[in-house]
């Protein structure tokens, strides 16, 4: 498990209001969440139709360009 070094921001009456983490820890948490989300998405689309390269390019060309 990821060891999270954290500091708490507290209110005047000593209630925890927020958490501070260093950038390295934040980036690790962000990477873990992105990997988890990607894994969940891959599970959701597992049974969807797989496009050929030709069909994928055809579909991509119909998308709105910004």
Note the pLDDT of residue 63.
Answer: 92
- Domain presence at residue 35: yes
Contact between 64 and 34 under an 8 Å Cβ cutoff? The reply is no
| Residue range of the domain that includes 24 | 1-46
Note the pLDDT of residue 35.
Answer: 95
- Domain presence at residue 51: no
Domain count of the chain?
1
Q: Does residue 16 carry a pLDDT above 80?
A: yes
Q: Looking at residue 48, what DSSP letter applies?
A: S
- In order of 22, 24, 28, 29, 55, the CA distances from 1 in angstroms are 17, 15, 12, 11, 42
- Domain presence at residue 8: yes
Mean of the pLDDT values across residues 54-58? Answer: 92
- Domain presence at residue 56: no
Mean of the pLDDT values across residues 1-21? Answer: 93
- Domain presence at residue 54: no
Tell the residue number behind the tokens 């989300």, with chain if given.
37
Note the pLDDT of residue 65.
Answer: 81
Mean of the pLDDT values across residues 2-6? Answer: 86
Note the pLDDT of residue 55.
Answer: 92
Q: How much is the pTM?
A: 0.58
- Domain presence at residue 52: no
Tell the residue number behind the tokens 């983490």, with chain if given.
21
């Amino acid at each position: 498990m990821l060891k999270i070094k954290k500091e708490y921001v507290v209110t005047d009456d000593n209630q925890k209001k927020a958490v501070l983490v260093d950038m390295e820890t934040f980036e690790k948490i962000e990477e873990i969440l992105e990997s988890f989300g990607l894994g969940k998405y891959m599970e959701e689309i597992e049974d969807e139709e797989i496009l050929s390269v030709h069909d994928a390019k055809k579909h991509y060309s119909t998308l709105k360009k910004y």
